[in-house]
């Protein structure tokens, strides 16, 4: 099947095509899922290189499970979010903590407009604050407020109740608010 | 003055917006590695070859056509009952004395032989 006709196919269908040896499905799934996995891994780890390692590992696990995938039991994205979280938690047990004040420098040297830089600085400030949250709170906040998932889906990913999700996100946001409140002027919110 | 919860949430939402607008992008090298691994797994994973079903023999097909063991048992019982009725007709079936006159001996010579042949 040509790649351009796969853009509307659900992940689960592409995975079946992949398991049947369809090379276009492999490319389509890589292009569609890798950025999502990478973004999520980075939010949970706060480290680009480690997020890439986790992304590669998670995607490899997906390729390996493709032939045994049972349709209708779980969504591919839900499964991936769970795998990424588990891999990240394993890594974080060994990782050093990053202090809130040590916001990483922008990763590329491209000249950007002031607003872009400011937005990027905000994103990095949020990331630094996220790094201070306990793993489960961070996972819940990222899934809810950055990935934009609904509470029932987050509950399925984290294997907890929706009430527990609400509790985790509420506590996480309180901590984030406290961590970021002193930086709002610095990051340009004083003018808004 | 301390910010209210609503102010706090509005402020956080701006950070979340900024985070969504600046996701960590996978490098081209990572995408290439992942796609290469996908091809490797595809090549290694052979699609399961559908097993050819063996054609059943004629007797097996007939057995299934009849209806299997339950039907075959009934058929055998009916056949045995028929043979038994043919060999020894129950006397109760001959209600009147003259009924025996309607019986036809289809092999009288056999009766002779069985009797010993001295008549």
| Chain A contact present for B23, CB below 8 A | yes
User: What one-character DSSP code corresponds to residue A174?
Assistant: H
pLDDT of residue A143: 95
- Compare all CA atoms of chain B with the CA of A31 and give the residue at the minimum distance: B31
Instruction: Choose, out of A31, A34, A138, the residue to mutate when testing the contact with B (most B CBs < 10 Å).
Output: A34
Shortest CA gap A79–chain B (Å): 18
- Which chain A residues are within 8 Å of B20, Cβ to Cβ? 146, 148
pLDDT of residue B82: 82
The complex scores an ipTM of: 0.77
| CB pair distance less than 8 Å for A189 and B22 | no
For B53-75, write each residue's pLDDT tens digit.
Answer: 667 778 888 878 878 888 888 88
| Chain A contact present for B7, CB below 8 A | no
pLDDT of residue A89: 87
- Which chain B residues are within 8 Å of A45, Cβ to Cβ? none
Per-residue pLDDT of chain A (192 residues), as tens digits, is: 555 557 778 899 999 999 999 999 999 999 999 999 999 999 999 889 999 999 999 999 999 999 988 877 788 999 999 999 999 988 877 665 544 444 454 445 444 566 677 778 888 889 999 999 999 999 999 999 999 999 999 999 999 999 999 999 999 999 999 888 877 666 665 544
| CB pair distance less than 8 Å for A120 and B12 | no
B 40-99 residues with CB < 8 A to A: 41-42, 45, 47
Per-residue pLDDT of chain B (119 residues), as tens digits, is: 344 444 455 678 888 998 998 889 999 999 999 999 999 999 987 655 555 566 777 888 887 887 888 888 888 888 888 888 777 766 666 666 666 666 666 666 666 555 555 55
pLDDT of residue A165: 96
Structural domains of chain A sorted by starting position, each given as residue range(s) with its CATH number in brackets: 1-96 (1.10.1740.10), 110-192 (1.10.10.10)
pLDDT of residue B75: 85
| CB pair distance less than 8 Å for B23 and A35 | yes
- Which chain B residues are within 8 Å of A126, Cβ to Cβ? 15-16, 18-19
| Chain A contact present for B39, CB below 8 A | yes
For A91-144, write each residue's pLDDT tens digit.
Answer: 877 665 544 444 454 445 444 566 677 778 888 889 999 999 999 999 999 999
């Amino acid at each position: 099947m040509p790649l351009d006709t796969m853009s509307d196919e659900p992940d689960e269908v592409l995975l079946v095509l992949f398991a049947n040896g369809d090379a276009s499905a492999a490319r389509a799934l890589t292009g569609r899922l890798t950025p999502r996995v990478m973004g999520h891994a980075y939010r949970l780890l706060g480290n680009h290189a480690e997020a890439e390692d986790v992304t590669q590992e998670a995607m490899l696990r997906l390729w390996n499970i493709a032939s045994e995938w049972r349709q209708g039991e779980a969504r591919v994205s839900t499964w991936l979010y769970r795998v990424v979280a588990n891999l990240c938690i394993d890594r974080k047990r060994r990782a050093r903590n990053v202090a809130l004040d040590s916001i990483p420098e922008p990763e590329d040297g491209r000249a950007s407009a002031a607003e872009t830089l400011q937005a990027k600085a905000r994103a990095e400030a949020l990331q630094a604050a996220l790094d201070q949250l306990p793993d489960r709170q961070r996972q819940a906040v990222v899934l809810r407020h950055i990935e934009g998932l609904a509470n029932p889906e987050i509950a399925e990913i984290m294997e907890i109740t929706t009430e527990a999700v609400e509790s985790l996100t509420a506590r996480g946001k309180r901590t984030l608010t406290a961590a970021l409140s002193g930086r709002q002027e610095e990051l340009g919110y004083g003018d808004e | 003055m301390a910010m209210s919860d609503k102010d706090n949430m509005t402020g956080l939402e701006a950070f979340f917006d900024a985070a969504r607008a600046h996701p960590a992008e996978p490098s081209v090298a990572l995408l290439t590695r992942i796609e290469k691994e996908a091809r490797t797994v595809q090549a290694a994973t052979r699609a399961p070859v559908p097993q050819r079903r063996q054609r059943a023999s004629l007797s097996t097909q007939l057995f299934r056509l009849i209806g299997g063991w339950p039907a075959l048992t009934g058929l055998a019982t009916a056949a045995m009952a028929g043979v038994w009725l043919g060999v020894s007709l129950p006397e109760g079936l001959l209600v009147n004395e003259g009924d025996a006159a309607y019986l036809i001996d289809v092999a009288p010579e056999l009766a002779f032989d069985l009797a010993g042949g001295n008549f």
